Every structure is written in structure tokens, then in C-alpha cells.
Amino acid sequence: MPSRHQFAPSILRAYDVRGVYGDTLTRDDARALGAALASEAMERGGSTVVLGRDGRASSPTLSEAVAEGLASTGATVHDIGRGPTPMLYYASHSLRADAAIMVTGSHNPPDYNGFKMMLGEQALMGEEIQALGRRAAEGDFRRGRGTVGVVDLVDAYCARLHEGFHIESDLSCAWDPGHGAVAAVLDRVLSRLPGAHLCLNNTVDPTFPAHHPDPGDPDNLAQLIETVRARQLDMGFAFDGDGDRLGVVDRHGRIVWPDQLLVLLADKVLRAYPGQTVIADVKASQMVFDEIAVRGGKPLMWKTGHSLIKAKMRETGAPLAGEMSGHIFFADRWPGFDDALYAALRLIEVLDEARLPLDRMVDALPVTVATPEIRIECADETKFDAVARIAGMLKEARADVVDIDGVRVNTPDGWWLLRASNTQPALVARCEGGSAAALDRLKRNLSDALDALDLDATSPYLMPAAAE
């Protein structure tokens, strides 16, 4: 290990490390990050680290470099190989590891890659990630001769996914891992599930030839929607590149938005944990918070980000949480982390018990008029400042603003949101109104804010309803 290492500041993000491989992210970064993480674990009295990787072209190289860095401190490294990020979380829990690190670019473009990390049972975020950067810059690494051993946990992980389920319905489902890491385990998961199952894009391919592995973008669900309709299936599931985010469509090919999914899942959870907290992120519909309260839960709006949500779950004891991006977190019969395969099985269980099709259950929810997530390109170097400028303008206008994460602006028409993405060079926006006309007014409010920043606001989701 070199005595000191400096990371590009842009890759140390709010809840992971992420950059463009060969540009802002290199083998040297991976090696130094491994050494910094293991050194931190050792200072806390630990010495075992679990390592995993997704299916990106650069992941084997980066994983090898991370292992070198980890072992250079004297750590014992358990390499679980290729698979979805939730398999790493499972490995960390089952092996009682002191730290864990996943090489993954998640849903970013193919030239990106990065790392998600844990110390003990907690996902690293914010200041803890910055502290690893400072440790590397100071060369504050432990020195030793560690070991790296391969541990095959795929069968154990797939068995744990099915633990506690008694599903009897013969539902027909389409499954689309989008050539991401879920494709490494999907066949084994489905072999234990009753019903008829059709897999799309079920090989790991780092070029993502069918579509980008991001179920948060409706365009990436087109193939799944067409398949469900053409084959007359009951539903379809889609996954992001590392398998911690879920997309769902019903038998008519309609998208079931993650906030709707959270309410359906909350019904059963709140029967087991009446009066407990259910967390949704700042992008979620107001319907979620209202319906959680109706079902006897305590709704809590919180910041977007898997590490931030998990930390809030531990703080509040919440048995369930969800994000509009498709992360669903269970601390009920599950260790509290986000696993899209597990969330899919929980949804199938809900339908099995209700004996109702998914579309009927969704149609019973209050109707909302909203845009999906809207992404506006904005450089990493300027995106947070851009939101701060908007926040200042709103403060001067004495607007009703929730500012726990960006700005969520409440008006008589509904609300609109603008926040900086922590994973991409972009701003994230969303609007929800009480009617189509109200939504159009909210879109205009958002467009005016973007115009004030001289940003491109030509998204089709910002066009008036009459023009859509």
C-alpha cells in the first residue's frame, strides 16, 4: 500500500462511493478504500470483512484491488463473488462480519462503478465516508498479512429469501433483471416458488443490451409491460443493476409505483406491529402518509438514500420503510435491509393471502395525479448549490417548504419537489396535485424554478396534461 492516497472529491458521496471507472475511479482508489475500511473496522475491534461484486465489466478488477487493500491491513476477507448487493448484506449478517464492501455501480451507466460499505450492521454514509477519505489521505492504515478466501453463499442466501413464506397461489409472473446482478441468482430463487415464471434478460451482461437496469425510469419497463400484456401474466417484476431496487407492473401492464407498493405491503406489517412507524422518503405521495395513518401506523417522511433510511429505521424501530426509487426495507422477518427479490416475494405473499389480483388492490387505493421521478442533468459540482439557490428564493417568498432533503414545496394545489441526486449528476424532481389542472400548475411552478437556474426543463413529464 502507498503511504497516502487522495480520492477525487466527487466520488465520496452521501451513502456510497461512486465514479467513472478509469477517470474518477481507479484500482488505486479501490485498494486504498479497502485498506481504509479494514483499518477502521480494526480500530473498532473487528478483523473480518465480507467482499462482493456486481456484474459490471470493471467489477472483477476493482474487487481484486479492494481485496488487496483489505488484506494489507491483516484482515480476514470472505469473498462471496458475483451477485446482488442484498446478498452481501445477507452475508454480513450471517457471517457476523465486522465490515462489508460491495463493488457496484448500481443503476448508473456501464462506465460507472463504486462501493457500498458497512461497519458492523450499519451502512456507511455521510461523514463516515468522508472520514475514510481523510484516513486514506493521511495514510492512516493498519499493516499486516491478511487472508482472502472464497465463500459460496448463493444457496444459503436463496434459501433465506424463502424462509417463513407459505405461498400457495399459482401466479404467473415475468421477471426482468435487466442483465444485472440478479441474473446470477434468479433461477435458483424461482425454482422454490410455485406458479409459472418467465424470465427476461436473465444473463449477466455489463453492456445491458436490452435496456438500462433502472426500474425507476418507465422507459426501462417497456419490454416487461409488453411481455405481461402479450402473455396475459398476473404481474411483472424488474430490478436495478445490483438488485436492491424493485419495479412492478400489474396484469394490464400498468406501473405500480413504489409508494403504492409500500402501502400494500404496510397492511400486513401493521397488523403484526400496530401503531409502529413506517418510513417513506421525501419523494413519496402524500397518499402514503395518509394511508399509513389510516392503517394505524405512524407515518414518517425522511431523507432519500438507502443508508439514511436504514439508520432512521434503527433509530425509530420502524418495521418497514420505502423509497420512491424502489428500495423497500423490511425489519419484519428480515434483518432490515433493502432486497428487491425479498420485496417481490412479500408482495406475492400479500396477493396470496388476499386472493385478489394486484390491479384490484391498487385500484382500491386513493387516486393521485402525479409525475414519476424527473431527472434533470446537472453537474455534480453544481447540483447542491442549485438546490440551495432555489431554497433561498423560496425562503424569500415565504413558501411552505419541507427542507429535510432538498425542497418539497406545499401549495393549495399539492406539492412539488426538487433535490440533488446523490448517485448521479442530476437533480430529481416530482409533482403531485389534487387534479390534472392542479398538477399542470405545479409543473409550471417547477419549470419556473428550473428556468431560474438556466437548466433544461424539457422533460415530457413537465408538459401540460393537454399536450401529453
Query: Which residues belong to the active site?
Result: 106
- Assess contact for 375 and 403: CB atoms under 8 A: no
CB-CB neighbours of 455 under 10 Å: 17
Q: Which residues of 422-444 are buried (b: 16+ CB within 10 A; e: fewer)?
A: bbbebbbbbbbbeeeebbbbbbe
One-letter identity of residue 127: E
Distance CA 405, CA 417 (A): 9
Measured at the CA of 61, the angle between CA 58 and CA 64, to 5 degrees, comes to 145
Cα separation values, 126 from 130, 132, 145, 154, 444, Å? 6, 10, 30, 31, 33
Q: Are strands 328-330 and 374-377 parallel, antiparallel or unpaired?
A: unpaired
DSSP state of 52: E
- What pairs with residue 100 in β-bridges? 50, 118
Single out the residue of 383, 382, 376, 371 nearest to residue 433, CA to CA: 371
The grid coordinates listed for 66 are 479492494
CA 204 to chain centroid = 19
Distance CA 339, CA 374 (A): 24
- Assess contact for 147 and 76: CB atoms under 8 A: yes
Beta strands of 88-194 (E only): which ranges?
Answer: 99-103, 112-119, 122-123, 147-150, 172-176
Q: Please report which residue ranges of 331-457 form alpha helices under DSSP H.
A: 340-354, 358-363, 383-396, 436-452
